[in-house]
Amino acid sequence: MNTTRLATVAVALLAAGSLAGCANQAAGSSTAAQKVDANAPTLTIMVGGLSKQIYLPFMLAKQLGYYDKIGVNVNLIDEPAGGDATQNMLAGQVQGVGGFYDHNIALQAQGKSSEAVVSMLQIPGEVELCRSDLKGKVTSPADFAGLDLGITDTGSSTDFLTQYLTKKNGVDPATTHRRGVGAGQTFLAAMKQKAISCGMTTEPTVSQALSDGTAFILLDMRTAAGSKAALGGTYPATSLYMPTDYVNAHKDTVQKLVNAYVSTLTWIQGHSGADIAAKMPADYYKGVGKAAYVAALDSEKGIFNPTGMMPTDGPPTCLAVLSAFNAAVKGKSIDLSKTFTNEFVQAAKPVA
């Protein structure tokens, strides 16, 4: 996504009433609706799929009123692909990204400096689905050669993980066709129209695809055991990451944000799926239904990081995964300590 497109998308999302725009307005995110002091710092965070359960803390923090309480004007913009969100951050169009931590490693390999300031997911929460008519024909990623594989977009974490799983199972990723199909309804449409054979997605899309018989589960990374079996170790996923220069120049604002997110993660641990769903915009579960959305939350609540601290064994696992297929990372000297910081989480104070 280029800068011109970002401007168009930002206007459309925040003003015209798309999913993200409506959800943001419902949560009081538009400039006109801000409840905090007009002199409070303002920043924009682009999230790689606001309605995905793996990115739930960003909107939940708003719904709980935490952004208002910390005194920061936060605009959330929905961008289905993490790779595009990262590029917009580098272009200075947004100050932070709600996306997978692994992007920080890929960026350092390209000579860019960014860091995750809070870790929200300790498990990817991703599921590899395959069309129901392929059951018995596709039994593992070893069968991926020649197939059309759905990812959110090129350069996204679903792209990273898909290439890794393909390579790990003895198939050259170049022999597959990775298709950017987004998430939610666009992902489901691609599968129903047989534009893809298999694809990687998250809840609530997974539940919807299973409920109507569109797909079956090939690999499930919604549990610690499933994630480690697929990826070889702990794979920290959703984080708030920002350019290192921004973090160093705005430590007070970053600390306030981390206070809000750590408090949100604590709130999640103390509440049921029904409690959480009751706080979310209705559009987030319209496709799958509220009952299925709640059931998915209850079953995968363990994906959320209860502390916000980066898991010790997480960054090395992410580096190993990227090094297995990514020529830009493989063989590079990566300083993992510069791809994340626990400084703000360790200093976090509960939001009253």
Q: What is the pTM of this model?
A: 0.87
Domain(s) labelled CATH 3.40.190.10 in the chain stretch across 3-123+236-346, 126-221
Q: Report whether the peptide linkage leading into residue 204 is cis, meaning its omega lies within 30 degrees of zero.
A: yes
Reported as a pLDDT band with limits 50, 70 and 90, residue 219 is very high
Biggest CA pair distance of the chain: 60
pLDDT digits (tens, 9 = 90+) for 137-188: 999 999 999 999 999 999 899 999 999 999 999 999 999 999 999 988 999 9
Residues in the chain: 352
Find out whether 23 and 281 touch, Cβ atoms under 8 Å. Answer: yes
pLDDT score recorded for residue 20: 35
**In the predicted model, is pLDDT for residue 61 greater than 50?**
yes
Q: Comparing 8 with 56, which gets the higher pLDDT?
A: 56
Q: Which CATH number fits domain 3-123+236-346: 1.10.1060.10, 1.10.287.40, 3.40.50.20, 3.40.190.10?
A: 3.40.190.10
| Nearest one of 191, 235, 210, 231 to 299, comparing CA atoms | 210
Angular region, 52: left φ>0, alpha ψ -120 to 50, beta rest: beta
pLDDT of residue 15 exceeding 70, the answer is no
Local confidence band at 82 (pLDDT 50, 70, 90 cut-offs)? low
Q: What is the C-alpha separation between 246 and 252, in angstroms, rounded?
A: 11
Strand order in the sheet with 148-151: 177-180, 148-151, 198-201, 126-131, 215-221
Q: What is the pLDDT of residue 85?
A: 86
| 39 vs 164: which has the higher pLDDT | 164
* Whole-number pLDDT of residue 21: 36
Confidence of residue 4 (pLDDT cuts 50, 70, 90): very low
- Strand 198-201 and strand 148-151: the pairing is parallel
The pLDDT tens digits for 178-191 are 999 998 899 999 99
Phi, psi of 222 (to 5 degrees): -95, 0
For domain 126-221, give the CATH number. Answer: 3.40.190.10
Close Cβ partners of 164 (under 8 Å, ≥ 6 residues apart): 231, 321, 322, 324, 325
Task: Give residue-wise pLDDT tens across range 263-276.
Answer: 999 999 999 999 99
Helix, strand, coil percentages (3-state) for the chain, rounded to 5, are 50, 15, 35
